[in-house]
Amino acid sequence: MGATIIVGGFWGDEGKGKIVAHVAYSDKPVIIARGGVGPNAGHTVEIDGQKFGVRMIPSGFVYKDAKLLIGAGVLVNPEVFLKEVELLKVADRARVDYRCAIIEPKHIEADKGSEHLSKKIGTTGTGCGPANVDRVNRVAKQAKDIPELKDFLTDVPLEVNQAIENGEFVLLEGSQGFGLSLYYGTYPYVTSKDTTASAIASDVGVGPTRVDDVIVVFKCFPTRVGAGPFPTEMPQEEAEKLGIVEYGTVTGRRRRIGYWDGEFARYSAMVNGATQVALTGVDKLDKECYGVTEWEKLTSKAKKFIEQVEEDVKVPVTLISTGPETKQIIDLRKEKL
């Protein structure tokens, strides 16, 4: 069984939450562990008519038999974490690595109050950058220092690696996306950490030899929130005309939208070591594809587009998402792998 990593291939908001939820339901992981920066993320999961937006708890929470772990590399805002634990009723299975660094109100103030961060870079204002600065300066608090988190502490690498040793399946969930990586993204218009699959493995304490699959999620029309280069960006009016306008889960900001960028996708898949691609928003490409769950029922326009994606990225497209709901997906993993 082993471990699979799911990461974003563009600038975040590719629909990782939805893909994680689907893979969790179909592959039944014993653990879903989150890497990535922190509560700047907003994963959306829609299931059975209900819509959830999670910032700290892994988006696979909808699959009720999995333990939900937050890796040591992730920044934890205790208030956000505890609120989600209560809202989603996951106190019995949500755990935080005791070494996670803590976001305090002063970090949020510093993020929102800094002209450079909030205006020039266009951060989410969730305090992640300033908290990572304190972590690097070795003055940040850790989860083990916070009494309210006492009942939720664990050693994530121990749990994850033991499960893998036992032949169980573990799902590792990234956040943000390749273009926001501190190392490989469009610096300085990036987040405060690397966001590639290797970073996610490191965040949860899993060595590269333990990872079997990396699923990189791309959306047919890439999006970006905040400032920074976006080579294939389309004018807002064009997005309106196409009916594909989007708003951010955390900040409510309107997302900038662009056309498919094959060259960028290929580079992103390379650095992430992608073994599979999940493509979301195929219903935005062609409205007739909305909710389709079989390859044969896709329109020829959609099929051609997906074939082009495979040609660009040189990795098989195994998951094709045709709407926001978890069940609106074509899963070709059995046929293609």
Nearer to ligand GTP, 98 or 218 (CB): 218
Contact partner at residue 280 from Mg ion, ligand GTP, ligand IMP, none, CB < 5 to 8 Å by partner kind: ligand GTP
Is 13 an annotated catalytic residue?
A: yes
Site for ligand IMP contains 123 (CB under 6 A): yes
Give the integer Cα–Cα distance in Å for 219 and 272: 16
Both tokens of 216, joined, read: 């990189």
Please list, in sequence order, all residues whose beta carbon lies within 8 angstroms of the beta carbon of residue 188, skipping any fewer than 6 positions away.
120, 121
Site for Mg ion contains 213 (CB under 5 A): no
Site for ligand GTP contains 322 (CB under 6 A): yes
By CB under 6 A, name the one of 4, 59, 126, 272 that touches ligand IMP.
126
By CB under 6 A, name the one of 10, 46, 128, 149 that touches ligand GTP.
46
Site for ligand IMP contains 124 (CB under 6 A): yes
User: Is residue 288 classed as helix, strand or coil in its secondary structure?
Assistant: helix
Pick from 5, 33, 41: which is nearest to 250 by CA? 41
Pick from 22, 23, 25, 18: which is nearest to 54 by CA? 18
User: Is 180:14 a contact under the CB 8 Å cutoff?
Assistant: no
Contact partner at residue 191 from Mg ion, ligand GTP, ligand IMP, none, CB < 5 to 8 Å by partner kind: ligand IMP
User: Of 98-106, 116-124, 154-162, 163-171, which part binds ligand IMP (CB under 6 A)?
Assistant: 116-124
- Site residues for ligand IMP, 253-272, by CB under 6 A, read none
Q: What is the CA radius of gyration of the chain?
A: 19
User: Is 217:12 a contact under the CB 8 Å cutoff?
Assistant: no
Give the integer Cα–Cα distance in Å for 260 and 192: 26
By CB under 6 A, name the one of 4, 77, 175, 318 that touches ligand IMP.
175
Site for ligand GTP contains 284 (CB under 6 A): yes
By CB under 6 A, name the one of 13, 173, 246, 286 that touches ligand IMP.
13
Give the integer Cα–Cα distance in Å for 57 and 99: 16
Both tokens of 175, joined, read: 């956040």
Site for ligand GTP contains 39 (CB under 6 A): no
Give the integer Cα–Cα distance in Å for 203 and 77: 16
Q: Which residues bind ligand IMP (CB under 6 A)?
A: 12-13, 37, 40-42, 121-124, 126, 128-129, 175-176, 180, 189, 191-192, 225-226
Q: Which residues bind ligand GTP (CB under 6 A)?
A: 8, 12-18, 41-44, 46, 175-177, 249, 280-281, 283-284, 321-324
